[in-house]
Amino acid sequence: MNLFDLTQASAEVRAASPSQVQLDEQGRLRHFLDIEGLPRAVLTEILDTADHFRGIGDAEVKKVPLLRGRTVANLFFENSTRTRATFELAAKRLSADVLNLDIKTSSAAKGESLMDTLVNLEAMQADAFVVRHGDSGAAHFIASQITPHVAIINAGDGRHAHPTQAMLDMLTIRRHKGDFANLRVAIVGDILHSRVARSQILALNTLGAAEVRVVAPRTLLPVGVETLGCQVFTELEAGLKDVDVVIMLRLQKERMDGALLPSESEYYRRYGLTRESLAHAHPEAVVMHPGPINRGVEIESAVADGPRSLILDQVTNGIAVRMAVLSMAVSGQMKARAERRNERSRGAGA
């Protein structure tokens, strides 16, 4: 079933810079597709807005009316539990109506193209699409080619990007460590197949982190990863030396072609985060993981559940960040829509 083919995109659209698609002429967010191309001011606005929303989870009534009367459609072409659930909670806490499209039983499964599905949803006056797709560039293609006037939020596309995960990680770091300027951060694990790692590296550099490291066996390092702005380590102890934040990644076994690892037990022995290996980091270093966790493969349970772990904080912060991104992107589209109406009115009155 060919839901969508990036080769349909023109060379002109594929070459368009992410900031051109994501921001309007006033620099307001209208889509959230990728960290690349977004200025520090926009990322900081997302973090500040999310910080404000974080308190709503502690309120007796966990809702604000910012998106009342608006519709958010969750379009997940890949399996997801936490990301989909937190996007749904985020939209509902903003008082939006939420449509969860079950791709397996939708018209797409009966042969309808992705384009037809999306333009039909747009005709139903949906205000935002949250899209997870197995093809890299899917969200960018939708935002630039199919429904540019609907806020598109990238919930993960192939190996390319997972920008809301990166931003919830940035919020978690900022709340516990403050300014990024003096921070050394190590990202450990399956860098090759991780859309999260690329987004994290870009976000950390944009926010001014002092040093970003990636740590992995050579078989799990993409060629040229250092060009994103990171130092590369193939030994865990050296990569963790004196870092302030350790972000562990899940082994993406479902994306691996061929034998990239000798065994999970060997991987854990060399790259698993244990109490012993964590001792190489700064004494006040914190530990993060985007989940789901493979205990005894990527991380020791004593570390995952220990006092330096921020893994559950990441889950909580995910709702606040997704509230921020949804509210900002939908607001940007609403303002653009009003401006287009005003221009048409002026043109009709001329």
Annotated binding site for carbamoyl phosphate: 82-83, 132, 162, 165, 291-292
Torsion of CA 159, 267, 275, 179, to 10 degrees: -20
Distance, CA of 218 to CA of 40 (rounded, Å): 31
- The enclosing H or E element of 88 equals helix 82-93
Instruction: Write out the binding residues for L-aspartate.
Output: 110, 195, 250
Binding residues: 82-83, 110, 132, 162, 165, 195, 250, 291-292
Whole-angstrom CA distances from 230 to 199, 201, 212, 281 are 12, 7, 5, 17
Phi, psi (rounded to 5 degrees) for 131: -120, 125
Decide: 9 and 145 in contact? Cβ < 8 Å.
yes
Structure tokens at 130: 């949250």
* 202 residue type, one letter: L
Q: Are 209 and 226 in contact (CB under 8 A)?
A: no
Q: Which two tokens stand for residue 155?
A: 């919930």
**In contact, 165 and 129? CB cutoff 8 Å:** no
The C-alpha atoms of residue 42 and residue 28 are separated, in whole angstroms, by 8
How many C-beta neighbours within 10 Å does residue 101 have?
Answer: 18
Name which of 112, 117, 154 is nearest 22 in CA terms: 154
Cα separation, 183 vs 186, in Å, equals 10
